[in-house]
Amino acid sequence: MKKLVLPAMLLLTSICTFAKTKEKDKVMNPLLTNWSTPYQTPPFELFKPEHFVPAFKDIIERSKKQVDKIVASKDEPTFENTVVALERGGEELEKVANVFFNLNSAETSPELQAVAREVAPMLSDFSNDINLNAGLFAKVKKVYDNRSRLKLTPEQGMLLEKTFKGFVRSGANLDPKSKERYREITKQLSELSLQFEENLLAETNGFVLNITNEADLAGIPESIREMAKSIAQSKNMEGWAFDLSMPSFVSFMKYAENRDLREKLFRAYNMRGFQKNKYDNQEILIKTANLRLEEAKLLGYNTYADFVLEERMAQSPAKVNGLLTQLLNASVPAGKKEVEEVTAFAKESGANFEIQRWDWAFYSEKLKDKKYSVNDELIRPYFPLEKVREGVFALVNKLYGITFKSNASIPVYNKDVEAYEVFDKDGKFLSVLFMDYFPRASKSGGAWMTNYRSQFKENGKDVRPVVSLVFNFTKPTETRPALLNFNELETFLHEFGHGLHGMFANSTYSSLSGTNVYRDFVELPSQIMENWAVEKEFLDMFAGHYQTGEKIPQELVNKIKESANFQAGYVSLRQLSFGLLDMAWHSQASAYNGSVVDFERAATKATDILPAVDGTAISPAFAHIFSGGYAAGYYGYKWAEVLDADAYSLFKKKGIFDAKTAQSFRENILSKGGTEHPMKLYIKFRGQEPSIDALLERSGLKN
């Protein structure tokens, strides 16, 4: 997933800063200096929490004065002196905000979290000061109304349209009383988003399953035991420890024979934000959903989903629900058969109980091993992180000709982060790339791509991006390197696809660059990369045993491919349940103040093929929609699956390493950003609109 850096309200329009920083402030605050690091990357070691609030205040103060000058100017408003001025003016604020919000997600601390709580409403107020400035909007509107006579390029036309719509969708046409209420709503939403994420991180870090009796580790492979021992040692505990980070949690659920402990860990993970303690997220998420609804109604929409989807490929809730229903109808029969199969297998294995959600991964893994003779522990030795990284580098070199060079002189924010220079096939510098691999208490869960600097062009110079990929992979132990499972390989490829979208950016304007595209289009570059994970020709390029160097056996590669669609129905239904839940929260036409559990069970009922678990809930930990940028947009993963399956079918037809097809994908998708409507870009690449058939066929769900 692409991780949002700025609070959502700041993404609605660019901000202005023109005045030069005072010399004395430059000396005192490293955030306000011109960085002398390689490629002007952030000098992380110089930044302290106390630097951020003064830096934001300084930039905002100077920016307001410059906006006042624009509004007071007697010059006729033009595309350059108004729209481009707004676009270019946000560079200093974006520079500081990117550093701050990225650190708050990947390397946070109580001090940074306190800064975030102070800064969020400050930035919300400033964003509203811009968006609700009647004089400024009048100038933008005048340029917009004259657009047919301006002879703009397609990219300039898109910037003008997005700037104008950004003002309108941020309340510029509201009456004074409604504008004030809009200000209050956006400020509250920014604060609630931060609190939701802080609570979730605290709940995730707050639980540890400490095991001191080795008998309780029955079924758990040695590599996972080593990881658990390492976690215990890091927490000054005896024995072994399992936490709620994905490598630890998922491994225990797959392998632990102790059913009671599986249930305990499952409940801990699925009760995050739902324990009626100081970290409870129920009230926060209900307030968030209701405030979003109120915001949408203020702006003239029936629901928040109507508001959001107006600026998406899907365009309307009806189209989203139509896609979800179509996929649901294809997935339910398969999912039910898979439950029957796992249930029968569990009974054959001696289970004398109804299969519960904490049993699913355990028996599914054993069934998969029985059917295909393949499991994570067979695969892991061939996927050491270093080799996977080399393999992904080799893949994109084969497709696009780009190369990567490690550079230890580029500052990083944590010792585990690696920095690379990326060069194009002609040897020109393309991007800086950070990669941050392992879980830690200061990092949010999941995986994401983000920018410390987006690409743009100014005064004849192409300013290249600084891209960051953040993961939570299985950590190395005292005796083993980091060995990835197959899902982690897919995650690496997924986020690298987002990274390519950022690294190949070739736009004039930052706000249209790279991943600044419709939310239901942004997952195409990432999800298409996952297709190579099951291709023998790709795996043969890098997969070798970490101890012997032996190439991954052909038989194992075949089994990986054969098992690719194992439980495709269940996997599809799980993803659809998230999409349906998101749409339900954001399709309300009236405020909701009832039970979170009742609401979500009604929303996901059609996808439920396993018994519900009392005391657990999805919504209080659903960070994508309550503290990220996927509200009324989680369906985008399934939408983009349709796109990526259809797009990859062209690679399958032409050759999975076909340079001509890759170049077309780069030119028409990866480099264009948001400069044109995504469907136009897709058709330029594919020659036709996407069809759902390729996805159903790839997933084995077509019939």
Instruction: Name the residues annotated as catalytic.
Output: 495
What are 536-539's contacts with CB under 8 Å, separation 24+?
536/561, 537/656, 537/657, 538/391, 538/395, 538/656, 539/391
What's 269-286 look like in SS3?
A: HHCCCCCCCCCCCHHHHH
Using CB atoms within 10 A of its CB, is residue 679 exposed (0-12), middle (13-18) or buried (19+)? middle
Torsion angles phi and psi, residue 380, rounded to 5: -50, -45
- CA 446 – CA 623 distance, rounded (Å): 10
Structure tokens at 367: 């069934």
Contacts of 99 (CB under 8 A, 6+ apart): 31, 42, 44, 47, 452
- C-alpha closest to that of 197 among 8, 473, 44: 8
- CA 362 – CA 254 distance, rounded (Å): 4
Q: How far is CA 159 from the centre of its chain?
A: 24
**What stretch of H or E contains 141?**
helix 134-145
Q: How far is CA 107 from the centre of its chain?
A: 17
DSSP code, position 544: B
DSSP H helical segments within 276-316, as ranges?
Answer: 282-298, 304-309
- CA 343 – CA 351 distance, rounded (Å): 9
Torsion angles phi and psi, residue 423, rounded to 5: -120, 140
- CA 314 – CA 582 distance, rounded (Å): 15
**What stretch of H or E contains 88?**
helix 85-89
Residue appearing with tokens 């890759």:
662
Contact between residue 631 and residue 625 where contact means Cβ atoms under 8 Å apart: yes
What are 255-258's contacts with CB under 8 Å, separation 24+?
255/219, 255/220, 255/221, 255/224, 255/362, 255/365, 256/216, 256/217, 256/218, 256/219, 256/220, 256/362, 257/218, 257/219, 257/362, 258/216, 258/218, 258/219
Q: How far is CA 673 from the centre of its chain?
A: 17
3-state secondary structure of 567: coil
Using CB atoms within 10 A of its CB, is residue 434 exposed (0-12), middle (13-18) or buried (19+)? buried
- C-alpha closest to that of 251 among 242, 260, 259: 242
Phi-psi region of 40 (alpha: psi -120 to 50; beta: other; left: phi over 0): left
Give how far Cα 46 sits from Cα of 36, 355, 419, Å: 12, 54, 18
- CA 335 – CA 328 distance, rounded (Å): 10
